[in-house]
Copies of this chain bind each other. A is one copy, B any other.
Amino acid sequence: MAKSRFEYVKGFENHPILLPNTYIAVRIDGRGFHQFSKEHNFTKPNDVRALNLMNQCAKSVMEEYTDIVIGYGESDEFSFIISKNSQLYKRRESKIISCIVSRFSSSYVFYWKDFMGDVSLKYPPVFDGRAVCYPSLENIRDYLSWRQADTHINNLYNTCFWLMVQDPSQKYKSEKEVENILKDTNSSQKNELLFSQYNVNYAKLPEQFRKGSVLYSDKRNVTEIGKNGKEVVRSRRVIVIDHCDIIGKEFWEKHPHILK
């Protein structure tokens, strides 16, 4: 067969390797999810069903790729941190990005019904992905802090925005007008606005919205059916979904094994 004549094209491939002994952060991000969330009537500013679906997809990724030591998600994005000493796909960049994005994307459709009930999925969604290396513990913690700080900023803004846009008195004419008002406010002004105009204490809103979702593997007591057919409680490694602060050191002191 004429195999050999064409095979030279394989020589055009490059296989960039992610630097060994660094944490790899793979971040995926929904493409066109502004539009997607409208077409599927997501509740604004936060649709808890859609957020839980994202978490389930992340769990599915982490069950498949056990070198991921922690996942962090908010809105339509998720970050996965791969351990420093991982040899996953020999640390080949395109393999690592594509496989994680692929599993997340197929999971999104696979688990859609379990979370979105009778909202029917109109078309297959797209997530992009990228991989970034972080050499030190400080760097990778700062990466996660960056994403969680972003969650806070975005959620506070969105909480104001949607309450104002949906204000029953319709005192704001348009989304544009609301944007213009909000763009000149700082955090405490937004907190004040929420409280004075809508009687909302931002600090009392669900942690899932304010902190995002933190996924990691931990030991938990799990009830199982033993050989004798009776229930037994066993300690098992499971993927835990939490909504806690990961900027401060408390979480990391409690879970020192995660970033080793």
- Per-position binary interface string of chain A over residues 133-149, scored 1 when its CB falls under 8 Å from any chain B CB and 0 otherwise: 11110010011011001
Residues in B with CB closer than 8 Å to A145 are: 2, 5-6
The one of B64, B97, B126, B131 that contacts A64, using a Cβ cutoff of 8 Å = B126
| CB of A38, distance to nearest CB on chain B (Å) | 18
- Asked whether any CB of chain B lies closer than 8 Å to the CB of A225, the reply is no
Stretch at the interface among A101-109, A159-167, A168-176: A101-109
Q: How many copies does the complex hold?
A: 4
Interface size on A, residues (CB 8 A): 68
- Asked whether any CB of chain B lies closer than 8 Å to the CB of A240, the reply is no
- Asked whether any CB of chain B lies closer than 8 Å to the CB of A127, the reply is yes
The one of B13, B103, B123, B128 that contacts A124, using a Cβ cutoff of 8 Å = B103
State whether A106 touches B124 (Cβ < 8 A): yes
| CB of A233, distance to nearest CB on chain B (Å) | 27
A136 and B102 contact, Cβ closer than 8 Å, known pairs A3-B153, A6-B145, A94-B131: no
- Asked whether any CB of chain B lies closer than 8 Å to the CB of A219, the reply is no
Which of A60, A111, A149 is most buried by chain B, counting CB atoms within 10 A of its CB? A149
- The CA-CA distance from A247 to B121 in the complex, in Å, is 39
- The CA-CA distance from A97 to B19 in the complex, in Å, is 18
- Asked whether any CB of chain B lies closer than 8 Å to the CB of A185, the reply is no
Query: Which positions 11-60 of chain A face chain B at CB distance < 8 Å?
Result: 11-14, 16-17, 19-22, 28, 31, 60
State whether B126 touches A99 (Cβ < 8 A): yes
- The CA-CA distance from A129 to B95 in the complex, in Å, is 6
State whether A135 touches B135 (Cβ < 8 A): yes
- Asked whether any CB of chain B lies closer than 8 Å to the CB of A1, the reply is yes
- Asked whether any CB of chain B lies closer than 8 Å to the CB of A110, the reply is yes
| CB of A80, distance to nearest CB on chain B (Å) | 13
State whether B12 touches A149 (Cβ < 8 A): no
Beyond contacts A3-B149, A97-B97, A98-B130: 13 other A-B pairs, Cβ-Cβ < 8 A, are: A1-B149, A1-B153, A1-B187, A12-B21, A12-B134, A16-B16, A19-B19, A19-B135, A94-B131, A98-B129, A103-B124, A107-B124, A135-B136
**The 4 residue pairs across chains A and B that have the minimum distance between CB atoms:** A6-B146, A106-B124, A135-B135, A98-B129
